[in-house]
Structure 1
């Protein structure tokens, strides 16, 4: 019998636990959720609770809660959710100093215990945290990526479905750029079953929906008092599934641009990428019009600024 895939999730809070739930429901493989020693009993309890859903939801998987990094050994995919969540009045960028330290430590442990894993970052500010993990692990760039676009596109599609009344399954869309208020929705690539979105929504209303998508995370924070978790987790597991099943899916994610794609040389930024068994197998470099390129340039500059902060914090990573 073929060996089950192994998915490890670093961080057992709302996002991490939701990742485990979606991965179990999709029966993607065995699941390990790791948290700090002070939260060991909490994460063990959550995972025991989740495993007890197996007879009801009809999935087979070994599900483990732990505080020991040895338990992530031989993971196929690792999803990193560790870090502080946003609170009302905070931007993703406000989290950088604390979360960069956490992600660096987590990444060093991943390097030690599971050096072949494909790593998906969820921690914010996303693009800078992917860079931090890349530098701290020293992994090839195809092994490191960030979950951003899958979530952002899902929000954009959801708002379009809400507006039009059509099924979310028939909404096709794309976003580029950094994960944050400078993300770049692309109405030109938005359609419903191949029919241009402008056949259904006025340009003025579409711009309002685009603006709502840009601040979609902040809207959730204002309502709940903390960051979203169901949708970020679902976006992360969509990426994990594409890797585990070698689906060759084109998904928007924070991937490494090493050939000056979109002008983002040697940066991780939101781009359409092919995800398969080798992780990020290809970045698709689209021809943008002048307006789209302007927005993308602004987004890339914002990512560069955050990466600069990380390099000042950890000069050894900048080498």
Structure 2
């Protein structure tokens, strides 16, 4: 049985760190791709990672390239390509430029790996995964966005810090768009099985949620010359693992919702069962009135973002 073939498009911080996590976890062989003008950079990073394998004890093969031919017949493709955020820049500021980049990547993937499951990471996430779906024409289950795993990880981190407990004992869920309108689901948040509302006041929980929403911007402001990459890359690797090992993980991702939650044909963050076929099913929750209102507000923001993107691409 051959190893899974995992391609990562974009050899910057997120892409290279994702390659690191995937290779070290022996999830498959990794192809690290970047644009031609980067010349030998992806090859250098791939070789450096390969030379770490005897030390860390993993046997994944890692190839760096600028040629999509080397990615042919990939099982999973993680798309990190695009401009990162800089201080003072919102995810939406990236819209026009990254939409064109994602369009180009989508066309290459469609030609070289028509059976792959695609995980989009590029921002603004919800619009970029919508564009990837539109251009590739792949079935919606095989085009997904990485946001929910990262957002939930940030939420769990802040909750663990607040309570002084292990992150392993925090179970949480965030839904909706990836950004300021993301929706926490308190009814699905617990600490060792104890509802979080019994441990943290609503006012303090609201503050933690607000910090989670701004989690990426907080790191951008601290780094000053880039954006988060360790946690986003780890989130991607977890999704890759769920797919290549057919783990049937129940995790939040940006998935294509038609009748589900009354969304009507857009990608938004919802809990799914993630396995070898990509999104194997979307889990529909019974939300409270407050949660439903917040989720609809987030969906409306995603629809507006996609409409703006379509307008920019039509110019």
TM class by shorter chain equals: over 0.9
Q: For 1:3-62, what per-residue CA distance to the aligned partner results, in whole angstroms no more than 9, with x for missing partners?
A: 100100000000000100110111101000100111131111111111111011110011
In structure 2, distance between residues paired with 1:178 and 1:100: 17
Q: Give runs of aligned pairs for residues 100-115 of structure 1, distance below 5 A.
A: 100-115=99-114
Q: Equivalent residue for 1:94? A: 93
Q: Equivalent residue for 1:81? A: 80
Once the two structures are TM-superposed, the CA of residue 163 in structure 1 deviates from its matched residue by: 0.8
- Between 1:77-86 and 1:204-213, the stretch displaced more is 204-213
Counterpart of 1:271 in 2: which secondary structure? strand
Counterpart of 1:53 in 2: which secondary structure? helix
Q: Equivalent residue for 1:249? A: 249
Counterpart of 1:281 in 2: which secondary structure? strand
In structure 2, distance between residues paired with 1:238 and 1:173: 16
Give the root-mean-square deviation of aligned CA atoms: 1.1
Q: Equivalent residue for 2:258? A: 258
Once the two structures are TM-superposed, the CA of residue 315 in structure 1 deviates from its matched residue by: 4.8
Structure 2, unmatched stretches of 5+, are: none
Q: Equivalent residue for 2:304? A: 305
Aligned residues: 314
Once the two structures are TM-superposed, the CA of residue 128 in structure 1 deviates from its matched residue by: 0.4
Q: Equivalent residue for 2:273? A: 274
TM score, norm. by length of structure 2: 0.98
Which runs of 4 or more aligned residues in structure 1 lie more than 6 Å from their structure 2 counterparts after TM superposition? Answer: none
Once the two structures are TM-superposed, the CA of residue 189 in structure 1 deviates from its matched residue by: 1.1
Once the two structures are TM-superposed, the CA of residue 201 in structure 1 deviates from its matched residue by: 1.7
In structure 2, distance between residues paired with 1:198 and 1:305: 33
Q: Equivalent residue for 2:140? A: 141
Q: Equivalent residue for 1:24? A: 23
In structure 2, distance between residues paired with 1:179 and 1:40: 32
Q: Any conservation in 1 of the 2:6–2:30 contact (CA below 8 Å)?
A: yes
Counterpart of 2:39 in 1: which secondary structure? helix
Q: Any conservation in 2 of the 1:83–1:99 contact (CA below 8 Å)?
A: yes
Q: Give runs of aligned pairs for residues 171-186 of structure 1, distance below 5 A.
A: 171-186=170-185
Once the two structures are TM-superposed, the CA of residue 253 in structure 1 deviates from its matched residue by: 0.5
